């Protein structure tokens, strides 16, 4: 993050498929058939590819009207913006609820501001803060195929259970026009 933070939106497009670990996750113990990288924000692992998910970083400076010193509450406006852009969705307003797999796999838990459609997560959020501001990392799924992610971050003896448990925790949505609508919502905030 820059030393001086201003409102900014960046769309990130991976060049190859990769598993992106959260800042506190341990390195996978086994060899991965896919690239493994680490982000500086917290949360569970996310599988990224050039076409999925839609990955958007939003920077917000301290003192901005949307700023909140409460880390959990600070996600609320962002989740609401995504729900409007998607035209549907419930924004999780409570604390982080990891369940069995949420500290391992991002889309398995329920975090503040994250968006759910019919009970399945469609928008995952993470945050990194400095004294100058925050970077919110947003991932909007167009599909949910947890197998490759499970193969990297879940121990071999737990993979069958993880496949059963994680099959329906998330789902993809149509991304047609979502980014444009999201940017329109942000411009009004």
Q: How many CA atoms lie within 13 A of 152 on its CB side?
A: 24
pLDDT of 46 > 60? The answer is yes
Q: What is the pTM of this model?
A: 0.94
Which of 134, 145, 125 lies closest to 82 in space, CA to CA?
125
Q: What is the pLDDT of residue 58?
A: 98
Query: How far is the C-alpha of 4 from the C-alpha of 141, rounded, in Å?
Result: 31
pLDDT for 31: 57
Average pLDDT over residues 7-17: 95
Q: Is pLDDT at 54 greater than 60 in this prediction?
A: yes
Q: Which helix (H) or strand (E) holds 55?
A: strand 54-61
Reply yes or no on whether the pLDDT at 166 is more than 70: yes
Cα–Cα distance for residue pair 79/112, rounded to 1 Å: 8
Handedness of CA 176, 172, 77, 45 (dihedral sign): negative
The pLDDT of residue 29 is 64
Output the pLDDT for position 43: 86
Paired strand residues for 137 = 57, 126
Those residues whose C-beta lies under 8 Å from the C-beta of residue 24, and which sit 6 or more positions away, are: 42
Instruction: Evaluate the CA torsion angle 59, 64, 66, 72 in order and state its sign.
Output: positive
The C-alpha atoms of residue 30 and residue 43 are separated, in whole angstroms, by 20
Q: What is the C-alpha separation between 32 and 126, in angstroms, rounded?
A: 24
């Amino acid at each position: 993050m820059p030393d001086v933070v201003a409102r900014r939106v960046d769309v990130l497009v991976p060049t190859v498929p990769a598993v992106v670990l959260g800042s506190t996750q341990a390195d996978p113990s086994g060899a991965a058939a896919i690239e493994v990288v680490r982000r500086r924000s917290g949360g569970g692992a996310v599988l990224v590819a050039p076409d999925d998910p839609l990955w958007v970083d939003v920077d917000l400076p301290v003192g901005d009207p949307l700023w909140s010193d409460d880390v959990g509450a600070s996600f609320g406006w962002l989740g609401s913006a995504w729900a409007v852009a998607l035209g549907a969705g419930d924004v999780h307003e409570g604390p982080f609820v990891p369940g069995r797999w949420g500290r391992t796999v991002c889309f398995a838990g329920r975090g503040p501001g994250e968006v759910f459609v019919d009970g399945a997560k469609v928008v995952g959020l993470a945050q990194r803060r400095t004294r100058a501001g925050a970077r919110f990392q947003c991932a909007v799924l167009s599909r949910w195929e947890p197998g490759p992610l499970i193969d990297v971050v879940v121990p071999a003896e737990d993979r069958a259970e993880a496949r059963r448990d994680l099959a329906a925790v998330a789902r993809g949505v149509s991304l047609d026009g979502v980014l444009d609508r999201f940017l329109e919502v942000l411009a009004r905030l």
